[in-house]
Structure 1
Amino acid sequence: MRERLPLLLAVFWASFLSPGARAGSLTVFCSSSGTEMALCRSETQAWAQATGHAVTLVLLPSDWGEVLPLYRQLLSAPTPVVDVLVMDGTWLGTLAPMLGAIAPTPDDDDLAPGTFTSAGRNVALPWYRDIGLLFYRKDLLARYRLPVPQSWDELASEARTIQDAERARGDGALWGYVWQGRAAESLLCNVLEWFGPAGGAIVSEDGRVDLDNDGARAALTRASGWIGTISPAGVLSDDEEATRGAFQSGHAVFMRNWVYAWALANDPQSSIAGKVGVAPLPRDTASEPPQGVDGTVYLGMARGTAHAAEALSLMRYLTSRAVERARAVAGAYIPARRSLLDDPDMRAALPVLATIRPALARPVLRPVAQTGMDYPRVAWLAANGFHDALRGGHDASDTLHRLSDVFGIMAHRGQWPGRPADVTLPQEKTR
């Protein structure tokens, strides 16, 4: 990653200084993926024509893991050369001190999950939403007359039943459940969804480390039991695309993934097109309300931008009801405005919206706001600890206890927002 950063910066400067860039133009980062790039281009051009301002687009690296260090470098410059940025929600705690303040408006009440606030400043606006979901083979559940599972135990039972029966019919490559087990952010999302209300969110809203508890231990132990029974051992190296590939090839009954997988699984070229259902993820008990990890993407501006008014104007335009509505219809993006979720055009463009609406109302938030600039380190440690427990390196109790001690020390040293002053500092261990 460090070796690639100078190259990424060189690519940025080449884009910024290209003949298409004009002096005084607003510089905006956009995704390099096809649909989102096309929408970003058309939306910013519409704003430019309406306001008379110029916009220069710079495309992000295709690997979003490379974007955060790039943003850190660019925003740390004495005079920022970027104005508006598209950001994953997990970067906000780290980037917040380098982002400009966004004055609130009454219209913000319609935004979900709301503007991101750090140190009393609003620094990012939600642009579009995403959430963890359960995808399943409708045809296989119908064949065995099974309902969509509501709890994790029900999922494991149904996955094993269908898997064993289909293998007996000759489909030896079928597995019951695929998910993202690679030691990365995606595993952290899965684990938080397994934890549910009983297991906590690693760090609670008031800044307390909330990890070493019976609910978390039971959830992590349960998931460990899936390996080799309903989930292949290789799931521990899988990301979203690997699991989508297995599911879309017809090699899995259930899959955890994000909304984007819906359109791809039902593409006419897909071998399972028309055979896919989607639902909120299972819970510890079926009586709990549906939940999934929030995957909202945000917009923010550089704190030292010379074009603050223009940048804010563009961000307000991109997050407006009209633009979010058009974006949802054209690209199947879940709008970040509550008032659009029941819009008939939204329901037509996103048929799954009615099904996943309960989960959108209660998203699981990662502890980005609570841990501030320490979030990337917290996420890395947690993902690697959980991965080690899942592959059998340590049991769940030992893993959660060790992580709790480490995070307790980090909370005191990092002065995490909301950290209780009366929490005893864990004794630091050395090897």
Structure 2
Amino acid sequence: MLPEQREVLDEIIVKIRAGRIRRRTFLERAMVAGLSSSAAISLLEACGGSSNSQGGNGAAKNLVWQSENDSTPTYKNLVDTFNKTVGQQKGIHVTWNNGPTGGGDELLTKYTTALRARSSTMDVMSIDIIYPAQFGASEWTNPITDSQWPASERDKYLQGPIKGCTYQNKIWAAPYRTDLGILYYRKDLVPNPPATYDDMVNQAKGASPSKIKYGYVWQGSQYEGLVCDFVEVVHGYGGEVIDANNNVVVNSPEALQALTQMVNWVGTISPTAVTTYTEEPARLTWQNGDSAFMRNWPYAYVQSNDPKQSKVADKFDIASLPHGGKGTAGHSAIGGWNLAINAFSKNPDEAWEFVHYMLQPDAQKGGAINASWTVTLQSVYDDPDVQSKQPLFTKLKPILQNALPRPVSARYADVTKVIQQYVYQALKKQVTPAQALSSLESGLKPLVTSS
């Protein structure tokens, strides 16, 4: 929302409450300012102007929430419910702006342009899990305090997403929905999922090529998905990339075992072309019935189980990612979107009221049922209504509880490029795993010490 649009909305809100304009004029001006007809009507109702009466609901504050793209009616419905309940009670109205279909990069550009100008045109912002540290370090978002969100309440949520939003011991965004890497396996070929990566290799070799074309497909291209896959294997072996004290610890025996394992997959249990795979090529190979195992996100579950488009419908199940070496559990990499409060907002307290509403059971359950989002409130996964409508959720809770974030850094955009570069070189056998980790350590240290 542009500043001039915000000014128009503020002006007509004041006038409708003072009885200086009628309902029709309010709606016309709101739509000229860029609101849809439904959003304009919702705003009118929140102002107490559902008829041509001169009544109002007091000094309501109009907030703008910029979300990521939602192709479902879920966010709209949640905002409408807030405006009619909490908003009416506390004099708050939220206008929702849907995000671009182009994805997170386009949205990040919009945020950085506005926030560098100290713009207050957005009060609440949906930000990707990899950016809370950057926004916090830049003082673009307000930290969420213990008085707002006490530890006794935070304990009810998945801890991995909260860790991903934490930088220098402060929480810079509230995790609404998360995402996680999971292992898909053909239960007609592999009776039980593998506990370790060595088990998976042995099972894959037993199935491929005698029974199926490939043993394992995953995301090996040089992009963000490779970072997710890499940190999952490193965490599974008990290693880390950057530790909790902001030290680069990737050049370790555990990480060497992990990267060596990944390099050995290429051209053996995985096709050589896996170094070109992103999520979709992996999914399509899997759905065509050409692989015994796949690492992917939960979105692939419904499509893989649709007999109209999948040859593996009813032939597979999901499990936690394996572990290896000294590791005792598999750890999924976390994705997802989080709600941050603009540090330049003129209504930070009211913005927190909306963020807090989005964390509550009804809003979390709504996201799970209506959009299949893996939300962050743990009790949602035990809810009978959710389980009946989203059977996948019965399997996800134990996997989510072990999920961990990618390296948390205020310079994540630079960190990820360095990881992608050297891990990819190892997968392509241009350097040894040991050389790749040494270069990765050298490349990360200046980024971490300067953040």
Q: Same fold (TM over 0.5)?
A: yes
1:391 Cα shift?
0.5
Of 79, 82, 105, which residue of structure 2 is paired with 1:47? 82
Q: How does 1:273-292 map to 2 (within 5 A)?
A: 273-284=313-324, 288-292=328-332
Q: Please give the root-mean-square deviation of Cα atoms over the aligned residues, in Å.
A: 2.6
Letter in 1 for 2:182: L
Please say if 1:191 is aligned against 2:230. Answer: yes
Post-superposition CA distance 1:345-390 (Å, at most 9, x none) = 233334334433332222222221xx2x212111110111101110
1:39 Cα shift?
0.4
**3-state SS, counterpart of residue 393 of structure 1:** coil
Residue number in structure 2 paired with 1:411: 448
Pair 28,251 (structure 1): closer, same or farther in 2 beyond 3 Å: same
Residue number in structure 1 paired with 2:239: 200
Of 102, 105, 108, which residue of structure 1 is paired with 2:149? 105
Residue number in structure 1 paired with 2:302: 263
Of 194, 206, 209, which residue of structure 2 is paired with 1:161? 206
Residues in 2 aligned to 1:66 and 1:265: alpha-carbon distance in whole angstroms: 29
**3-state SS, counterpart of residue 209 of structure 1:** coil
Residues in 2 aligned to 1:217 and 1:246: alpha-carbon distance in whole angstroms: 29
Q: Answer whether contact 1:135 1:256 (CA < 8 A) is retained.
A: yes
Residues in 2 aligned to 1:81 and 1:65: alpha-carbon distance in whole angstroms: 19
Q: How does 1:6-25 map to 2 (within 5 A)?
A: 17-20=33-36, 25=62
Letter in 1 for 2:113: Q
Q: How does 1:95-174 map to 2 (within 5 A)?
A: 95-96=135-136, 97-103=139-145, 104-106=148-150, 107-113=153-159, 114=162, 116-119=165-168, 121-141=170-190, 146-166=191-211, 174=213
Residues in 2 aligned to 1:290 and 1:19: alpha-carbon distance in whole angstroms: 46
Residues in 1 aligned to 2:362 and 2:35: alpha-carbon distance in whole angstroms: 32
Residues in 2 aligned to 1:276 and 1:184: alpha-carbon distance in whole angstroms: 27
**3-state SS, counterpart of residue 165 of structure 1:** coil
- Bigger mean CA offset, 178-187 vs 305-314: 305-314
Residues in 2 aligned to 1:218 and 1:120: alpha-carbon distance in whole angstroms: 31
Pair 286,330 (structure 1): closer, same or farther in 2 beyond 3 Å: farther
1:100 Cα shift?
2.1
Letter in 1 for 2:308: Q
1:49 Cα shift?
2.2
Pair 204,197 (structure 1): closer, same or farther in 2 beyond 3 Å: farther
Letter in 1 for 2:235: G
1:80 Cα shift?
2.6
Q: Answer whether contact 1:177 1:231 (CA < 8 A) is retained.
A: yes
Residue number in structure 2 paired with 1:301: 341
Residue number in structure 1 paired with 2:281: 242
- Pair member with larger Rg: 2
Letter in 2 for 1:289: A
**3-state SS, counterpart of residue 144 of structure 2:** coil
Pair 19,349 (structure 1): closer, same or farther in 2 beyond 3 Å: closer
Residue number in structure 2 paired with 1:72: 112
Residues in 2 aligned to 1:112 and 1:296: alpha-carbon distance in whole angstroms: 12
Please say if 1:364 is aligned against 2:404. Answer: yes
Taking only the aligned residue pairs, the percentage that are identical comes to: 25
Letter in 2 for 1:374: R
Q: How many residues align?
A: 389
Residues in 2 aligned to 1:227 and 1:234: alpha-carbon distance in whole angstroms: 8
Residue number in structure 1 paired with 2:419: 382
Residues in 2 aligned to 1:278 and 1:265: alpha-carbon distance in whole angstroms: 11
Letter in 1 for 2:337: V
Letter in 2 for 1:129: T
Post-superposition CA distance 1:71-94 (Å, at most 9, x none) = 211222232321211121101111
Residue number in structure 2 paired with 1:214: 253
Please say if 1:313 is aligned against 2:353. Answer: yes
Residues in 2 aligned to 1:102 and 1:245: alpha-carbon distance in whole angstroms: 41
**3-state SS, counterpart of residue 64 of structure 2:** strand
**4+ runs deviating over 6 angstroms:** 21-24
**3-state SS, counterpart of residue 203 of structure 2:** helix
Residues in 2 aligned to 1:265 and 1:29: alpha-carbon distance in whole angstroms: 32
Q: Answer whether contact 2:251 2:438 (CA < 8 A) is retained.
A: yes
Please say if 1:392 is aligned against 2:444. Answer: no
Post-superposition CA distance 1:317-367 (Å, at most 9, x none) = 111111111221222222311233322223333433443333222222222
Residue number in structure 1 paired with 2:26: none
**3-state SS, counterpart of residue 255 of structure 1:** strand
Residues in 2 aligned to 1:218 and 1:337: alpha-carbon distance in whole angstroms: 34
